[in-house]
Amino acid sequence: MRPTIRFHLTALALLALPITGAGDPQLLQRAAEVRDRALADNQAYDIVAGLTSEVGPRLAGSDGDRAAVAWALIRLKALGFDRVVAEDVSVPRWERGTATARIVAPFPQILAAVSLGGSIGTPAAGIEAPVLRVGNLAELKALDRVQVEGHIVYIAGRTERSRDGSGYGKSVPKRYGGPVAAASLGAVAVVIRSVGTSNARLAHTGATTYIPGKPRIPGFAISNPDADLLEYQLATGSRVRMEVMSTARSLPSARSANVIAEMTGSDPAAGVIVFAAHLDSWDLGTGAIDDGAGVAIVTEAARQARLAGPPRRTIRVVLYANEERGLSGANAYTQAHLAEIPAHVSATEADLGAGRVWRLSARVSDEVWPRIQGWMPVFEPLGIELGQNDARGGADIAILGRNGVPFVSFSHDATQYFDYHHTASDTLDKINPADLSQAVAAYSALAYILANGAEDIGRVPSPKGTQ
């Protein structure tokens, strides 16, 4: 019942106080001060440098994952949060082991390859089979079993580079769904062109999925230059044979935690705003841009907003467990906080790297959207433009959105992001401190506005944009 009540109260408040584009001048003035202080003096780089150098890779359920939780509890307490807790989360555990891929014929070559996250391994001797190339997942699904059976299926298709990162979304279905689709047609393994834009000889990992009760085959990614090489040999018209080997395996589930840190609001009835990132990472790099940067941004934004004085609403930083392999932390958070969901005033997630923020968007009711637009004078000096009322939030907060919690989101410049994301190159040196500071300034000012605005920003009407 409470979401409905809140929505109606907000609607009444909006009738009483007509929305103007100008917003609350005092609130926006103070937000601009928060922005400028954060731009000049923030500790976000120190936070991500600490996480990547003192912990490093933190695949869900690994020793690094446990170390990250311990590290975050200590670091966030030291940064002055009022309440810092770890909430238990059960996470699936998987070990990469080693993986190799090579062309056996017509021209033998070794390829740079990794196992897809969650993939099963191969027999110790590996799997050798002829290669069948398909352009994409849809093409694979359209084939007959007789065409696929006994083959290693190679799924081509480049990931487009773009500022908004949309090329990733178009390219990633082959990674999630390739092994299941190929196995159902009798293939013995899947190899994909990496879901990334890098021309380095490094392959891109990321989760694949299986369906209980359906056949499972191992999945691999090869780097873009190695995919070029394979395609050249395929284009000669000769029969290409590959051998793949992997010692990847799943292990019993393990304990991890969501780390939650709060700057307590002065008005207990005013609710909480959530600033989210994920603490886990893939295991190949040190998880600097994915998502150490997000951890640093939301943590420092909360701290910067608090420097302006106690917020009216509680600012809650949630560092989620296991985003990468199935959103365990997001699901556990929602279960643990179900009764409290109506008190969630907004949710904002940072999980698109450390690039400059270039766009603000939201997912709010049509009545509230003009109010969000009225905040733009705070963000325009950072070079941020207004997007649409169509924000998707992010993987971890999507479930809050389905429960009516509105989003206010930033888009980071993702032009370079997928050169490093999920590869061994996801390391601290890929973060430009000036770009990170600009992003922190944006998130800090947003945290200030969301935490201190006189009215909340309503609920999201259920028919719109649910995902």
* Sites of contact with Zn ion (CB under 5 A): 290-291, 351
User: 145: which DSSP letter?
Assistant: H
Contact 367, 19 (CB under 8 A): yes
CB of 228 to Zn ion, least distance (A): 27
Which residue, 329 or 458, is less far from Zn ion as judged by CB?
A: 329
Which residue, 281 or 365, is less far from Zn ion as judged by CB?
A: 281
Strand duo 314-320 + 357-363: pairing? unpaired
Both structure tokens of 51: 């996480």
Start-to-end C-alpha separation, the chain: 22
- Residue keyed to tokens 């560092």: 319
Contact 73, 279 (CB under 8 A): no
Contact 258, 320 (CB under 8 A): yes
Closest CA to 44 of 321, 277, 259: 277
CB of 343 to Zn ion, least distance (A): 26
CB of 301 to Zn ion, least distance (A): 17
Crossing angle of the two packed helices 63-78 and 293-307, in degrees rounded to 10: 10
With 0-12 / 13-18 / 19 or more C-beta atoms within 10 angstroms meaning exposed / middle / buried, residue 18 is exposed
Half-sphere exposure of 39 (CA within 13 A, CB side): 16
CB of 429 to Zn ion, least distance (A): 19
Contact 56, 50 (CB under 8 A): no
CB of 212 to Zn ion, least distance (A): 26
User: 207: which DSSP letter?
Assistant: B
Q: Which residues neighbour 266 within 8 Å (Cβ) at sequence distance 6 or greater?
A: 310, 311, 312
Which residue, 189 or 319, is less far from Zn ion as judged by CB?
A: 319
Vertex 92, ends 88 and 93: CA angle to 5°? 110
- Residue ranges with strand state E in 328-467: 344-349, 357-363, 385-386, 407-412
Determine the Cα–Cα distance for residues 307 and 148; give it in Å rounded to an integer: 61
Which residue, 14 or 395, is less far from Zn ion as judged by CB?
A: 395
Which residue, 262 or 351, is less far from Zn ion as judged by CB?
A: 351
Which residue, 245 or 288, is less far from Zn ion as judged by CB?
A: 288
Instruction: Indicate the SS3 state at residue 305.
Output: helix
**Amino acid residing at 299:** T
Both structure tokens of 1: 């019942």
Which residue, 65 or 291, is less far from Zn ion as judged by CB?
A: 291
CB of 390 to Zn ion, least distance (A): 21
Instruction: Indicate the SS3 state at residue 422.
Output: coil
Contact 34, 445 (CB under 8 A): yes
CB of 259 to Zn ion, least distance (A): 16
Which residue, 323 or 456, is less far from Zn ion as judged by CB?
A: 323
Which residue, 290 or 413, is less far from Zn ion as judged by CB?
A: 290
Report how far apart, in Å, the C-alpha atoms of 39 and of each of 126, 194, 243, 410, 459 are.
Answer: 53, 36, 52, 16, 31
Report how far apart, in Å, the C-alpha atoms of 300 and of each of 226, 258, 289, 291, 316 are.
Answer: 40, 18, 16, 14, 12
CB of 260 to Zn ion, least distance (A): 18
Q: How many Å is the Cα radius of gyration of the chain?
A: 23
Which positions are catalytic? 323
CB of 291 to Zn ion, least distance (A): 4
Closest CA to 291 of 300, 280, 283: 280
